[in-house]
Structure 1
Amino acid sequence: MNALSPSTSEAAPPTGGPTLTALLREPVAADPARASRHDELHDAHGRPRASWERFFDWLPADPTAARAELDARAAQLARQIRADGITHNVYGADAGGRGPARPWPLEVLPLIVEPDDWAVIERGVVQRARLLNAMMADLYGAQRLLHDALLPAALLFRHPGYLRPLHGVVPPGGLFLHIVAFDLARGPDGHWWVVAQRCENPSGLGYVLHNRLTVSRLFPEAFRELRVQHIASSYRRLLDTVEAQAAQVAGGESPRLALLTSGPYSETYFEHAYLARYLGVPLVEGGDLTVRDDRVYLKTVEGLKPVHALLRRLDDQWCDPLELRADSTLGVPALLQAVRVGRVVVANALGSACLETPALQGFLPAISRALLGEELAMPSLPTWWCGEPAAWQAVRGALDDKVVRHTFPRRPGAPASGAPTIEAIEADPDAWTVQGRLAFSCAPLWRDGAIHTRPAGLRVYAIADGHGRWHALPGGMTRVAAGVPTTVSMQRGGTSMDTWVLTDGPVDLFSMLPQRLGIDDILARRRPVASRTAENLFWLGRYTERTEQLVRLARATLTLIDSDTDAPPALLDAVSVLARDSGLAPAEVPGLARAPAVFERSVLAALTDTSGAFSIGFNLAALARAAGSLRERLSTEHWGLVQAMGEDFHAAFAPPPSHTRGVDALLAPPLPSAATALPALDRLAVQLAAVTGAQSDRMTRDHGWRLLTVGRFIERVVGLAQSFATLLDLAALDSEAGLELALELFDSTITYRARYQRHQDLLAVVDTLVLDEANPRAFAGMLRRLRIELRKLPGPDALLDAWVARLPAEGAGLSIDELRSLHGDASEAALRWRLRALAHQLAQAGRRLSDDLGSHYFAHAGTDVPRRV
């Protein structure tokens, strides 16, 4: 089955359905400016277009039932987006830099593009893609356009996107651009116009793919019967083109590709992960890569692996801190040098951002005649570059019906909106471009049981095939405005639509999935684990375990405070120290023995505090960040659990609405009570158990998973060894309550009761918490797993043996014979001293082991570059 199409199972043809006209008899929330815009739903005579009639014919015949069906499918769409975790991060001043991740906004109805319209679009964007690639070759080569005065020098040399260090550099095959996106709009006359072009790192391909997969499955019969063209071939073409170029620099090796992302803080990070997974290439950040001997390498847990091509989703300026922005932590130092010597392909080529200036639109007709010998097939918006005195004077007094745009990217701190004054334009005319306004066509949306209309623009993608030809992806991303602007923006509350291009010819049934896998296909899918991925997995395990330990300690602390029985002073002191050391209470707060009420308030206040590096709130946030960087590896259930934990925990402690609280509470939100906190902690403990289960039993056991497991057990050894040492140091284990606390912190109460019933004895506790290899919470059980997993990590045997040697050779480092001799002391003082020494030894060994793993697998300190034979 085509990976991009719905099921092709047979469906009964419609027996007559509601016409679109019948649905429109109900009240419609119409666009106030609809009369002056092209209507995608109706023809010039106000009749529904035939394709839309055919689309709605697959719904129930009764309009009421049809409305209910569309509402149900819209609800299904929303559930699917939530289940898949599809997000779009919102940025800007209102969001404080990095805003919240919101569910991807997708409409249930598609935009339908007729074959004749698509022929016009395809011809226009293919021609422009050829033109832009030819311009790149000229601007970074002979610069004929400048010499012949077809392009003002200021538009090139003043643009920060023109990278002078790459002048004269020609990529393999002379292909600079691999994919170009064009933002199109249909005007009131029904003609298509080019509004803008995106050449640097065009966004949206991942969302286009998901939109198609989701919406086509909601209307499988209509999708098939309307003969909607499939889009899988375009993604395969992009991959083939980059692979062919990469093969030219691989020197006989199998070319290795990667998708370079700016990371989980990118507004479109979801689509980076989604696209990488679909294309079958690793998703990497700048920190995953290093340049050695002018070659790019991927840092993996198995060493450095060469990378021959990068599909980048990172803006030029951030790509190389050595030659571009020195403050960038996202790029790869010396990447430009690797590009210059031709040892890596970057798609699109670095330096293509200069083609995105809106001022270029006014010069393209003449440039097209010069470079292609052709007139432009699709017009641009009327454009006047203010750097030309005649152009500025022509529009100076007529700006009311036009849009003034920045010619060059805005400088940091420049106003993001608001029209400049005439004085500001004349002070720096090169920096401003004037464009005509266009009333975008109206697309139909389904909202609240009725058809609404909103202005919409279409982003279309042209993809090179590596042989001098370009092809338009048959579809694209339709973006719908939130109101009635001249532009559409997802950042300003817009939504998206799947775009159905109808065809009169054959439907392309190509699938990205090969019909039969060969041995090479299987080997190619066993990709190495990148060091950043491994590090995030390592810390995912550690943060999960650390949060579990904090939850158990918090529950034990609050239960002890509210207990009706008097706890021994030694136990109160031990719990106070444990809470302070773990971040559950501030260091300066008086202990439980002196001020139990103050201590309780401090613990309750710190539970959701994200500023303390060891609080539950902080660790939940850190766990979510680590998981967010692993979206391409985690199941949607696993990711959903991680998100739900933080949301549910903070929601449980959220203050009630202000109208239900007193005046004093408005100034300082009330602290939760222990009665509120304990159920929230219990729920979080259950959720953490589910997350641990997902990590233990529902992930592929590669080297990344092994490092996750090692990280979890290192954290368990270090955390529990520190707690055990504190309990021994402060003589808290001399009481029955202290022994109960130790069993609770080690999550071993049930194991102990099954073996020793109600018997309370230090020796029995030592057996359960130290010696029992069958207990995964006992030191012997933890260390056994650590030794096993460490020996399975990649690396020379001598190195792995040295790491394992940091741990006791067997068991927990305390044998039965030694225990027998120590227990002979009636006061058990020697046993307690030995246990304290063992706990401190294990905590120190865990910390040193963590440093060793980080240095070798994550930082690659001292790693030699693989030599070519």
Structure 2
Amino acid sequence: MNLPSGQPVEPDGLSATTVSAELLDALNAYIGPARPGHFDELRTHKGELRGPWKTFFASIGLSGFESLPECAQTIDRVIRLNGVTYNVYAESQDYARPWSLNPLPMLIDPGEWREISTGLAQRARLLNLILNDVYTSRSLLKASYLPSALVLGNPGYLHALQGVTPVSGTFLHVVAFDLARGPDGRWWVVGQRTQAPSGLGYALENRLIVSRLFTQAYRDMKIQHIGASYRRLLDALEAQTTSIANGQAPKFALLSSGSYSETYFEHAYLARYLGIPLVEGADLTVRNSQVYLRTIHGLERIHGLLRRLDDDFCDPLELRADSALGVPGLLQAVRAGQVVVANALGTGFLESPSIQGFLPSISEHLLGEPLKIPSLHTWWCGEGAAWEDVSPHLGTQVIKPTFSTRQSTNFEPVIASLLNQEQLSTWRARIEQQPAIYTTQTYLPFSQVPTWRSNSIEPRTAMLRFYAVVGPDGSWQVMPGGMTRVAAVDPHVVSMRSGGSTLDTWIMTDEEVDTYSMLPTSGGLPKRYNEHELVSSRSAENLFWLGRYTERAETMLRCARESLVLLSINQRDSHPPLHDAMSELAVQQGLINSDTPGIQTDPAAFGRNLMQRLWQPGVGGLYDTVDTLERIMRSVRDRLPPEHVEIPGRIKALLKSAQNETSASSQRHSQYLIDAIEQLDLVEVPLAALVGFQLDRMTRDLGWRLLTAGRLIERLIHLSKVVDAFFRHAAVYSPRGFDSLLVLFDSTITFRSRYQRQQDILALLDLIAMDPTNPRSIVSVISDLRTQLQVLPDRDAIMTQLPDLQWQDDAITSLIAQICGAGQTGYAISDEIGKRLFAHVSDQHFAS
């Protein structure tokens, strides 16, 4: 029951690095000691800095140490701007917590890394062999190297795939290993993730942020880069799918559980970095045992799926029938050998902690060698002898669920040494009632790493996650870096769900640094322009409606502000036709209820209802429009710049603040209106930034074309309604109405620069309807829309409905009729695009 002893060996040369006395004094003043019984990653038992940390602090110097507070602030700012989140839905129905990253890295020296990487590569190879055996010959079960009840009774074992070998025989493509260092300095494997390992995207983001904070140290210490491991994963997928691609270039996708996944940020981030589409189950369909992606060009064959979706949810036909996340028929495609799924379905049973107890003997049997890195001593209580052996020592154990994927048998691990005698007896009784669902592991006090907290360096309990990646030849390599997770407060619990943080993990090398990166370089990588790029129908639909709702938010804001301006002026100077036109537009825009009195009838009631629908959620007004924007962006964040995604949240915060500001002045009607107008001016700034990002920060691919088409269609519909209302109510023939129409077309400056203060209806119509240089004119909108539509599939059928405005002999009535008809055409084109290009695989609740 005792852990082996031993001390890690520091590599030669690292301890020779000197740190200035001034910096040492500063470090000693700011560094707290590790807890007794925990290995101190920063200092030796003599209180001296360990070799890697000497090198790090000598490289950053006193000035770098003193800048750590600024580094922490920089990280927070970058994470906020990039929208890096970890969604914790256990705490709230919809709570996206900013990702937590500490500025100090975790350092591993070359000698230790050789031992770690060799040991983990061995384990990954062993796990793949176990899977191959269990799903084919079952010799390990027959020879009792693995208990049949433990494997066949595990929900993670898929009986439907018994006898099925994946393409090329590779079950695992990426394996995540959780390592911890014990008090004696030895590394131990605490757990392994084989189903859909998470963290690769977060590890990459951590590296990009922290390496730029300490660029000199990053170079001086020869920190190995991690980009080649991501390329290796793609190369392996390509090699394994070549045989089923029939001479074509294999196509891949990243299968996500959707925007409500706790790690959805990294799904989108990883898909973008790997250059493959991010898809959900509803985007895929199985035809003739082959997997296809629903795209705007029709069905496109997918040969490889990098999945971030647990087994149970992958196929509602054969697994969980209530799953709306999976792909019906996916198991049949796997059985037919027509798709490579990474990792293979049915690998989840290896994540059970009980498996760890059987790996040493299996390694000797299958590999002919012992495990290079030991697992924690493990007892599966379902074996009578094992439970009899460990029961007297239960107080030294951690009690874990054997089958954590089964909700009825899952629970949070329990550290028995923290229990009193009564609690310990209760747990012993539970185990004796159902021993098979419990596993115990010897408690290991994890090592503590230095973390920057406020104005000091505090040791925190840490667990490291490394990733073994298979190559095209089937060999395994461990990514030279990873993610170190640190405890929040409780030294016994290392969990992101419990408020933990992360460190970038730096691997020092005494060999050549591999500088390969999949990021664009300043040298200018050749760009690929592919008119048949894989844009899923769901992504295309969301982008189209993103354009429409962005424009809708702009027009609602402009219409609301003009309505407030009309309410704020002296009602003795009112113009009933203008009030009627603006009231009608407010109803059409969802700014007031249809049964609310108009401005002319009851301006106070109109204003109250307008305010309510501007600020409050759940009433279908401006706040809800922005909320829909945010939901759409969350679904397609892999296609959007990071800064783009955070803007709706900022707008919603401003709208909530505006509600409070205007409520404070509600007793004074005139001030109330002025405050509301000023608040709308504040909201307009981020909304304008959102439009700017769409115009200037997105690649001009088919997704962007659909987004732009959606915005132009919404603009065409709205502007035609404005023209119709102002001319039908004769509002445009008054000076105030004339100015209001220019405001709603955002063309006031252009008109005044040309015609000064003239009130010429023909000049007005020429500018807002027929001027091709005015981006808000009807003909300009139609022209721009035609440009975007002509690159879409089925463009001929879609574009036949686009009108060409004809204005002859200054016939105002005819032109107004054509403009109204163009607005109706906007609805028809929108419907035609939806019918021809979008899958309508789920109810999106978009409103035309």
Q: Same fold (TM over 0.5)?
A: yes
1:383 to 373, 378, 385: 378
Instruction: Select between 303-312 and 342-351 the one with higher mean Cα deviation.
Output: 303-312
Paired residue for 2:616? Answer: 609
Q: Give the TM-score normalised by the residue count of structure 1.
A: 0.86
Extract unaligned runs of 5+ from structure 1: 1-12, 824-830, 862-869
Determine whether 1:598 maps to 2:605: yes
Paired residue for 1:865? Answer: none
Paired residue for 1:231? Answer: 226
2:465 & 2:77 partners in 1: Cα distance?
26
Q: 1:412 to 1:716 in 2, by over 3 A?
A: farther
Paired residue for 1:493? Answer: 499
Instruction: Select between 695-704 and 414-423 the one with higher mean Cα deviation.
Output: 414-423
Q: 1:219 to 1:14 in 2, by over 3 A?
A: farther
Paired residue for 1:625? Answer: 631
Shift of 1:258: 2.1
Paired residue for 2:188? Answer: 193
Contact 1:180 1:461 in 2 (8 A): yes
The one-letter amino acid of 2:769's match is V
Shift of 1:707: 1.3
Paired residue for 1:858? Answer: 838
Q: How many positions carry a matched residue from both structures?
A: 812
1:683 & 1:346 partners in 2: Cα distance?
48
Q: 1:527 to 1:518 in 2, by over 3 A?
A: farther
SS in 2 for 1:182: strand
Paired residue for 1:449? Answer: 455
Paired residue for 1:22? Answer: 25
Q: 1:67 to 1:373 in 2, by over 3 A?
A: closer
1:413 & 1:596 partners in 2: Cα distance?
60
Contact 1:106 1:496 in 2 (8 A): yes
Identity among equivalent pairs (%) = 47
Determine whether 1:309 maps to 2:309: no
Following superposition of structure 1 onto structure 2, how do residues 245-644 of structure 1 map, counting pairs within 5 Å?
Answer: 245-396=240-391, 398-409=393-404, 411=406, 417=412, 421-512=427-518, 522=528, 527-566=533-572, 567-613=574-620, 615-644=621-650
Contact 2:19 2:54 in 1 (8 A): no
Q: 1:272 to 1:301 in 2, by over 3 A?
A: same
Following superposition of structure 1 onto structure 2, how do residues 688-703 of structure 1 map, counting pairs within 5 Å?
Answer: 688-703=687-702
Q: 1:220 to 1:483 in 2, by over 3 A?
A: same
The one-letter amino acid of 2:470's match is A
Contact 1:19 1:56 in 2 (8 A): no
Contact 2:59 2:220 in 1 (8 A): no
Paired residue for 2:12? Answer: none
1:770 & 1:525 partners in 2: Cα distance?
33
Instruction: Select between 727-736 and 468-477 the one with higher mean Cα deviation.
Output: 727-736
Shift of 1:763: 4.3
The one-letter amino acid of 2:808's match is I
Paired residue for 1:212? Answer: 207
Paired residue for 2:705? Answer: 706
SS in 1 for 2:766: helix
Paired residue for 1:159? Answer: 154
Instruction: Select between 454-463 and 383-392 the one with higher mean Cα deviation.
Output: 383-392
SS in 1 for 2:510: coil
2:137 to 138, 142, 163: 142
1:519 & 1:182 partners in 2: Cα distance?
34
The one-letter amino acid of 2:314's match is C
Q: 1:525 to 1:424 in 2, by over 3 A?
A: farther
Extract unaligned runs of 5+ from structure 2: 1-15, 415-425, 842-848
The CA deviation string for residues 788-814 of structure 1, in whole angstroms up to 9 with x for no partner, is: 32223233xxxx333222232x22xx4
Paired residue for 1:89? Answer: 87
The CA deviation string for residues 728-754 of structure 1, in whole angstroms up to 9 with x for no partner, is: 455544544333333322222233333
Paired residue for 2:9? Answer: none
SS in 1 for 2:306: strand
The CA deviation string for residues 799-858 of structure 1, in whole angstroms up to 9 with x for no partner, is: x333222232x22xx4224x43xx6xxxxxxx3xx5675455333321121111112222
2:820 & 2:407 partners in 1: Cα distance?
51
2:364 & 2:752 partners in 1: Cα distance?
87
Q: 1:17 to 1:263 in 2, by over 3 A?
A: farther
Shift of 1:640: 4.9
Shift of 1:55: 1.3
The CA deviation string for residues 263-287 of structure 1, in whole angstroms up to 9 with x for no partner, is: 3332222222332233232333333
The one-letter amino acid of 1:847's match is Y
Following superposition of structure 1 onto structure 2, how do residues 161-180 of structure 1 map, counting pairs within 5 Å?
Answer: 161-180=156-175
SS in 2 for 1:330: coil
Instruction: Select between 553-562 and 601-610 the one with higher mean Cα deviation.
Output: 601-610
The CA deviation string for residues 596-650 of structure 1, in whole angstroms up to 9 with x for no partner, is: 222212211221333234x211121222233333433333444454553333333
SS in 2 for 1:792: coil
1:111 & 1:757 partners in 2: Cα distance?
67
SS in 1 for 2:318: coil
Q: Give the TM-score normalised by the residue count of structure 2.
A: 0.88
Shift of 1:435: 2.3
Paired residue for 2:10? Answer: none
Q: 1:44 to 1:29 in 2, by over 3 A?
A: closer
Shift of 1:216: 2.2
Determine whether 1:127 maps to 2:108: no
SS in 2 for 1:708: helix
Paired residue for 1:39? Answer: 40
The CA deviation string for residues 42-89 of structure 1, in whole angstroms up to 9 with x for no partner, is: 12333221221121112335xxx4542333333333333334333322
Shift of 1:540: 1.7
The one-letter amino acid of 1:846's match is G
The one-letter amino acid of 1:345's match is V
SS in 2 for 1:58: helix
Instruction: Select between 704-713 and 417-426 the one with higher mean Cα deviation.
Output: 417-426
Shift of 1:15: 9.8
2:116 & 2:671 partners in 1: Cα distance?
60
SS in 1 for 2:29: coil
1:338 & 1:520 partners in 2: Cα distance?
35
Contact 2:306 2:343 in 1 (8 A): yes
Contact 2:581 2:725 in 1 (8 A): yes
Q: 1:655 to 1:372 in 2, by over 3 A?
A: farther
1:525 & 1:851 partners in 2: Cα distance?
23
Contact 2:627 2:648 in 1 (8 A): no
Contact 2:88 2:97 in 1 (8 A): yes
Q: 1:565 to 1:716 in 2, by over 3 A?
A: same
2:671 & 2:190 partners in 1: Cα distance?
54
The CA deviation string for residues 692-749 of structure 1, in whole angstroms up to 9 with x for no partner, is: 2332344332222221221111111122223433444555445443333333222222
Paired residue for 2:95? Answer: 99
2:255 & 2:95 partners in 1: Cα distance?
22
2:521 & 2:739 partners in 1: Cα distance?
61
Q: 1:516 to 1:624 in 2, by over 3 A?
A: closer
Q: 1:675 to 1:418 in 2, by over 3 A?
A: farther
1:284 & 1:684 partners in 2: Cα distance?
33
1:450 & 1:146 partners in 2: Cα distance?
53
What is the RMSD computed on CA atoms of the aligned residues? 3.2
Paired residue for 1:70? Answer: 68
Q: 1:480 to 1:748 in 2, by over 3 A?
A: same
Q: 1:518 to 1:489 in 2, by over 3 A?
A: closer
Shift of 1:520: 9.8
2:447 & 2:522 partners in 1: Cα distance?
45
Instruction: Select between 176-185 and 413-422 the one with higher mean Cα deviation.
Output: 413-422
Determine whether 1:815 maps to 2:786: no
Determine whether 1:651 maps to 2:657: yes
